[in-house]
Amino acid sequence: MNLTELNRIATAMVAPGKGILAADESSGTIKKRFDAIGVESTEENRRDYREMLFRSKDAMSQYISGVILYDETIWQDAKDGTPLVKLIEQSGAIPGIKVDEGTQALPMCPGELVTVGLDKLAERLKKYYERGARFAKWRAVIDIGGGIPSMTAISVNAHALARYAALCQAAQIVPIVEPEVLMDGDHDIERCYEVTSRVLSKTFQELRVQRVALEGMVLKPNMAISGKKCAKQAPVEEVAEKTIRLLKACVPAAVPGIAFLSGGQSDEEATAHLNAMHKLGPLPWGLTFSYGRALQAAPQKAWSGKAENVAAGQRAFSHRAQMNGLASKGEWQSSLEKKAA
């Protein structure tokens, strides 16, 4: 393992003003998003859509540090025969790959899930590295509800995250460690804070047990935020303050950076929260975004599967990437959204 190189890549992934595009939607997820804009989810349409994003030169070169790909996408070529990973590299961004294989019901723990995919992961990582991937992602899902999460679910998922991260580093691939506490419930921000604290503490304990070099990884957590169904939604400043307090308590300074998931927030909410956190610096690690839907909802709608809309889709993507790039330096203002409308 070359830790110097892993650290270089991890640091580049969280460079100031740039963030990570999560374009790793599963076949089922992208079908739902295409259904919403009236586009059939064929392999060709999925390729065309992602090629549109990766050829958005201004956005990719200025605001995107890396792209998380799905297994299908990493092997695809653009219409002109150029591998999509090459388009990403040519923009100056780093190609990455989602390597978990989804979730299964966790035995003896009703309503809870465990992420799977460790079997043969070492062999898959070698192939992904040869194709150009220099980082990977594994998502653990922790739900909040009556009597959950259990310590079992937290422990099992943290253990799997740590084993995945160790396998990645052994393959000279930077692991994005993503323990996501979902915001789907009716819990308040205090409950989210408490559960996320337990999840992060257990995750870093397991990472140490598996001898993962913290200098060669990136953390992708949720923010401390109210559940979607909670009657009282915490304001932007409270989300920022509690999230930074939580991270300072749980995330060692050796970690080069933290790239937030958006987790169901609206485009502007995700941007505003990230921006507010940068007002609370200085911070011991880089702090940026790794958004999927919050970067892509606008370009998907603008594109709508039509070749004549590619330029409009790219403009929408560039705008969202720029807004989040500014937020990752604490320089975003809501008035910038209105100017672009």
- Domain borders along the chain are 3-340
Dist. CA 214–CA 165, nearest whole Å: 10
Two tokens, residue 129:
């590295």
User: What's residue 340's pLDDT?
Assistant: 57
Alpha-carbon span 189 to 225, nearest angstrom: 5
Dihedral angle over CA of 126, 99, 13, 224, nearest 10: -160
C-alpha dist (Å) from residue 26 to 29, 126, 241: 5, 21, 33
Which residues are marked as active site? Answer: 178, 220
Distance CA 7, CA 213 (A): 9
Task: Please give the Cα distance from 300 to 302 (Å, whole number).
Answer: 6
For the record, the structure tokens of 217 come out as 């990884």
C-beta separation of 98 from 52 below 8 A: no
For residue 22, the cross-strand partners are 68
Give the HSE-up count for residue 203: Cα atoms under 13 Å, Cβ half-sphere.
31
Query: Which fold would CATH assign to domain 3-340?
Result: TIM Barrel (3.20.20)
Amino acid 20: pLDDT: 98
Q: Could you tell me which residues come within 8 angstroms of residue 52 by beta carbon, excluding any fewer than 6 positions away? A: 299, 303, 310, 313, 314, 317
C-alpha 150 chain-centroid distance: 24
Rounded CA-CA distance 46/50 in Å is 6
Q: Distance (Å, rounded) from C-alpha 327 to C-alpha 166?
A: 31
Helix or strand holding residue 5 (H, E): helix 3-13
Q: Catalogue the long-range contacts made by 52-55 (C-beta closer than 8 Å, 24 or more residues apart).
A: 52/299, 52/303, 52/310, 52/313, 52/314, 52/317, 53/21, 53/23, 53/296, 53/299, 53/313, 53/314, 53/317, 54/78, 54/84, 54/87, 54/88, 54/91, 55/87, 55/314
- Per the CB < 8 A criterion, the answer to whether 72 and 27 are in contact is yes
In contact, 327 and 274? CB cutoff 8 Å: yes
Question: What span, in angstroms and rounded, lies between the C-alpha atoms of 93 and 257?
Answer: 16
Closest CA relative to residue 341, chosen from 325, 319, 322: 319
pLDDT in tens, the chain (341 residues): 999 999 999 999 999 999 999 999 999 999 999 999 999 999 999 999 999 999 999 999 999 999 999 999 999 999 999 999 999 999 999 999 999 999 999 999 999 999 999 999 999 999 999 999 999 999 999 999 999 999 999 999 999 999 999 999 999 999 999 999 999 999 999 999 999 999 999 999 999 999 999 999 999 999 999 999 999 999 999 999 999 999 999 999 999 999 999 988 888 999 999 999 999 989 999 999 999 988 999 999 999 999 999 999 999 999 999 999 999 999 999 999 876 54
Q: What CA–CA distances, in Å, run from 321 to 18, 26, 62, 275, 334?
A: 8, 22, 9, 13, 14
Which residue is it, tokens 């990437």?
321
Dihedral pair phi/psi, residue 182, rounded to 5°: -70, 150
